[in-house]
Chain A
């Protein structure tokens, strides 16, 4: 079955469901510049403007990137699950690859959350890791669940079956996101700090500004890396298609 795609996309054969170039409103170089400006501004705010926390001291400065990266990882996993749903629901030929790249970004940002969190735990708690903390363990479960996604993907031959299996797996994983986020609030005993309560954020002023800029920086950085990786993967897929056609 042939269909006319949106925007710049060429005609494509949906039976093969080969990924094609999508048109985006924001060009990649503009995103890269925005990422650089935002990350630099965030670092300047973290180290030169934000006040030192009275309770935790200098180590609290890890929070700005640690929390921002954690939310970005959740967003990436959510994006991966959304694209997986689009693949199963609307049979969007781009959705499988986009879901895969979204989850890949989530795993990269997830590993950063675990690393920065461990460094913060070492300063504040005197331990690199505490198995008694629900928030930590549930985030690790979420991370390992999505890390196992790649084992599934690379153990099945490319094709519609692999795309369907991966989409179902990505959708199951999204259930763990609210569980991981709410674990700290549902736990009876906890030592992990809570910065977002039911009544809003537990901070304001320059701390809030620094956090918001850091959050924006991480989201834009993740989106830039997502687009770069997606372009590479699409180019790779198109080259493989061409090789097959000319073989």
Chain B
């Protein structure tokens, strides 16, 4: 591999690495947002109470 070939490869690897790093950062941020939405939903949406008696309903 000549010096020019090494430098050209390095240049394209730099482009790839930086774009990949950006995508990883965005993915981590989206994961954090997803966790926050889940936590928020758990706090605000009332959970069904398992002990609560269900009202009888007519079937048929």
Contact = CB atoms under 8 A, between A and B. Distances in A.
Contact of B11 (A120, A225, A229, A242): A120
A108 B8 contact: no
A246 B44 contact: yes
A66 interface: yes
A18 interface: no
> For the side of the interface on A, what is the size category?
20 to 34
A2 to B, nearest CB: 24
B2 interface: yes
B33 A242 contact: no
A246 B18 CA distance: 39
A116 interface: yes
A239 B5 contact: no
A111 B44 CA distance: 43
A59 B5 CA distance: 7
A123 B29 CA distance: 38
A43 B26 contact: no
Nearest to B36: A239
A225 B33 CA distance: 17
A193 to B, nearest CB: 15
A225 B7 contact: no
